Amino acid sequence: MRLPETSIDERDPYARAYIFMRLAIGLFGFAFPLVVVLVEPLVFYGQPFLRGSLSAYYYSGMREVFVGALWAIGVFLIIYKALRWTWDGVLSTVAGILFVAVAVFPTGRPGEGFPRTPLQDRLGEPTVEAIHFSAAGLAIFLLAAISALFGKELRRTRRVHVACAVAILAALALAGYAGITGGPDKALLFAEWAAVWAFAVSWLATVELHRLFER
């Protein structure tokens, strides 16, 4: 397995654009939970400051941002190494498909005051919710696996990637516990947030910024 930065000529402007794209998607992933959680109460007055999970923002004023961000992250993970049959490429592609599934199949409605989506009417709300949580859980697990692969390849930042992989798995365990028991309060939100940020850190640690400025 080889990461993209180790196999490209940094003098190629297209290669440098690719590195910049990787940097941008990492920063985008880092900003995703911040924007969804913090912007909503500023733009939509009277909305709760913290919801129970990131998925709950599907039923908020930030729905379009939430769904669009998942699609953007998912599509990038699908295409960035879709034609290279390496372990990190395969796992990234599958994780991207799962992120798109999380966007397409929403979590359960927070109350009867929210209308069902056509997909919920078609398949049934419990089925759609089950697909949502299954896809989200598996996607988060694959993020941990990708971070671990980064650590195996990049010795200089190995500890960072291993720590991020462990943090993602711990967040996944907390999310599973919160989903089963219903508590602690907001645990699912913070577990998802932690997993996204941990992967963003691992991803950004693979980007060699100096290559963007070399001539």
Tell me the average pLDDT across 10-20: 72
Flag the least confident range among 73-77, 89-93, 198-202, 206-210.
Answer: 206-210
CB atoms within 10 A of CB 49: 9
Alpha helix positions (H), the chain: 13-43, 63-79, 87-104, 118-123, 125-153, 158-181, 187-204
User: What is the tens place of the pLDDT at every residue in 103-126?
Assistant: 999 999 988 788 999 999 999 999
Give the residue extent of every domain in the chain.
Answer: 13-108+123-208
Tokens of 120: 């919920």
Secondary structure (DSSP) of 178-194: HHHH--STTHHHHHHHH
Determine contact, residues 69/32, Cβ cutoff 8 Å.
yes
Query: Tell me: the pLDDT tens digits for 141-155?
Result: 999 999 999 999 888
On whether the pTM is more than 0.75, the answer is yes
Taking the C-alpha atoms of residue 140 and residue 163, their distance in angstroms, rounded to an integer, is: 15
